[in-house]
Chain A
Amino acid sequence: MKLVEALKCLQATPVDARPLSLHIVCGFTPLHLQTFVAAHVQAIAPSRRVVMTSGLFGDCLGNLERLAASEPLPEAAVLALEWPDFDPRLGLRNIGGWRPSDLADISATVASQVERFAAAIARVATHVPLRVSLPTLPLPPVSYFPSGQSGAFDLGLRARVLELGALAAQNANVALVNPQRIDRTSPLEQRGDVVSDLSSGFPYSLSHASALGRALAELVVPVQPKKGLITDLDDTLWRGLVGEVGPDAVTWDLDHKSHGHALYQQMLASLAESGVLIAVASKNDRAVAEQAFEVREELSPLRQWLFPMEISWGPKSEAIGKILEAWNVAADSVVFVDDSPLELAEAQAAWPDLACIRYPKESDAQLYALLERLRDSFGKASVSTEDGLRSQSLRQAQVFRDQVATGTADVDNFLSKLEAELTLNYATDPPDPRALELINKTNQFNLNGHRYTEGDWLAHLKSSGTWLMSVAYKDKFGPLGTIGVITGRYSNQARSATVEAWVLSCRAFSRRIEHACLAALFTRFDLAEIAFEFQSTAKNGPLKLFLRELLGREPDGPFTLSRSAFESACPTLYHRLKEFPQ
């Protein structure tokens, strides 16, 4: 992005758009970095109006320490560190000495500053989501070593700063720019602008400011990761056509020059364990394909994650439709990988929102690019217990739905024997990142589709009168983990509460969990009525279906439900409740 484009992007924002307040913390004049961060955030979140503030020139640590006490707090803060923030002698605007005898003192100062930054980052991050870039500019020629040689001095400085990054990264409210990302988008020799640094105190070239601004912006407003991957088998999961060469002869190893498939399998296993749904859509003889998973033991760790396996001679688009139905996930949350351009085109025509990616069987270099693309599509900041349960609980949900749909189980009889247990957690401090993740990624059972930034969410939880209910579920088939979140505000005087956000994972449908949550809310807060900030969205059909059953009609906007109306419409509930705090 050019500077003039960044300015135009910011000017084009509607004045009445909801503000997104960002604070930039750095030791240099924020100038164009501030502009680029704002413009890139604006481009990612066009419905918001980015409002940026900054601190004092030359006092990065002080600016950071003051931020924790500032009022009002911004929704998020960006911390752009550079070497002079750890010791001014590591910059060009101060003359403090580069003599060999100065180096030990510079090292000691950096170590001390690292400790102060670590403490300040931890303090700020309890109030504000913090996005951090470690120094991106080259170290100036402070050391007596020739530029091609590293020594204990410069390696020690880098080690201290990396330790700071590693420590900060353990904080759930802190995200760091990956230096590899900057290495790719901004060549080292083109990052700095000495003239600008000395004349105006801004140390970056425009191209570097844009690259760094974009990387920081993507951490401020992260893209929601995809939820599922559908893979082909022949010449994708493995090399060869299993129906022709047999299960023993398909390969994924260095000897057969098919090691790329092994890397792809490794990536799928990694994605699966981090909560990504993995399914198979293959044109094959089902028995032969399944035999490959039985005969080739190396596939068994991956096999446990593959659900469903749609293997037939029918069109891939039909197989994909069945998979999406089993997952209860929309096509725009899914990636389909296949080596055949024809199959990809057929699937894309039927599912325009599906991300269709060709497996590049002829090029290991392109395969590596595919692995990186998959990591980007599914990347997330943390892996939760629920991520490991997702695939297993979907299989259980399928069994459950099949039994109910085929009439092999009387619903009440079935539910009464499930030994269902709901754990309702009302704690807001410390915030559970799973609650925000659920709200921001759930589409179908979602009260209004409202999304929160981390800053929005922290501010909501801290505001007076706010309550939060996180819902975890388990039954005799196993745990589903945290599958629901309801939050809003209540008024003691009126014995009423407002529900501002309510989501329930599709894995938990048909168990009357939604009814149990409302019953618990009425009881816990002794409510006479609950107001719902309902809004119809293109995707919240399951929520509307629930409301139609509960109210006898589909509301056209916000509505209020009295306790007596709820109790008369609520079916029998069989859950055992555990509530925290009591």
Chain B
Amino acid sequence: MSDTTRDRLSRCLAAYFSGLSPQEIPRASMATVGEWDSMASVTLIAIVAEEFGREIAQEDYEKFVSYELILDYLENEPRVPRG
């Protein structure tokens, strides 16, 4: 299950950050990827919400700053279906 979530999240990041290699994606964050600005976070929220079919609460937007944090959010936060 965890691998599946990783794979799907990796695909989400690869769709937006097309220049990242598969090895770079798990380490990607606002600190390591120059293109990852606030607008990129907004787009990633939309892509992840679409891919995983879940509503992402506004208070969780701040977690969309690194691959690891998003993965942790997807694996551990209670799932809220899209309304």
B-binding residues in A (CB < 8 A): 2-4, 7-8, 11, 29, 31-32, 35, 195-196, 199-200, 202, 206
* Binary contact readout B37-65 vs A (1 if CB under 8 angstroms, 0 otherwise): 00100110011001100000010010000
Residues of B within 8 A of A31 (CB): 39, 42-43
Majority DSSP secondary structure for residues of B touching A: helix
A11 and B18 contact, Cβ closer than 8 Å, known pairs A3-B43, A4-B51: yes
Across the interface, B43 reaches (CB within 8 A) one of A11, A32, A199, namely A32
CA distance A8 to B47 in the complex (A): 12
What is the interface residue range for chain B against chain A? Answer: 10 to 19
A32–B58 touching, CB < 8 Å = no
- List 7 other contacts, CB 8 Å, given A4-B47, A4-B51, A32-B46: A3-B46, A4-B50, A7-B18, A29-B39, A31-B42, A199-B42, A199-B61
A-binding residues in B (CB < 8 A): 11-12, 15-16, 18, 39, 42-43, 46-47, 50-51, 58, 61
B61–A8 touching, CB < 8 Å = no
Across the two chains, which residue of chain A brings its CB closest to B38? A200
Across the two chains, which residue of chain B brings its CB closest to A32? B46
Majority DSSP secondary structure for residues of A touching B: helix
Q: How far is the CB of B42 from chain A (nearest CB, A)?
A: 4
CA distance A202 to B11 in the complex (A): 24
A4 and B39 contact, Cβ closer than 8 Å, known pairs A195-B58, A199-B61: no
Q: Provide a sorted-by-A list of 25 A–B residue pairs whose CB atoms are within 8 angstroms.
A: A2-B50, A3-B46, A3-B47, A4-B15, A4-B50, A4-B51, A7-B15, A7-B18, A11-B15, A11-B18, A29-B39, A31-B39, A31-B43, A32-B43, A35-B43, A195-B58, A196-B42, A196-B46, A199-B42, A199-B58, A199-B61, A200-B39, A200-B42, A202-B42, A206-B46
A3–B42 touching, CB < 8 Å = no
Across the two chains, which residue of chain B brings its CB closest to A200? B42
B42–A4 touching, CB < 8 Å = no
A4–B18 touching, CB < 8 Å = no
CA distance A31 to B37 in the complex (A): 13
Across the interface, B50 reaches (CB within 8 A) one of A8, A29, A199, A206, namely A206
Across the two chains, which residue of chain B brings its CB closest to A8? B15
Across the two chains, which residue of chain B brings its CB closest to A29? B39
CA distance A206 to B43 in the complex (A): 10
Residues of B within 8 A of A202 (CB): 42
CA distance A35 to B50 in the complex (A): 15
CA distance A3 to B16 in the complex (A): 10
A4 and B58 contact, Cβ closer than 8 Å, known pairs A32-B43, A32-B46, A202-B42: no
Residues of A within 8 A of B47 (CB): 3-4, 7
Across the two chains, which residue of chain B brings its CB closest to A11? B18
Residues of A within 8 A of B42 (CB): 31, 196, 199-200, 202
B12–A4 touching, CB < 8 Å = yes
Residues of A within 8 A of B50 (CB): 2-4, 206
Q: How far is the CB of B58 from chain A (nearest CB, A)?
A: 6
Residues of A within 8 A of B11 (CB): 4
Q: How far is the CB of B51 from chain A (nearest CB, A)?
A: 6
Q: How far is the CB of B72 from chain A (nearest CB, A)?
A: 21
Q: How far is the CB of A15 from chain B (nearest CB, A)?
A: 12
CA distance A7 to B12 in the complex (A): 10
Across the two chains, which residue of chain A brings its CB closest to B19? A11
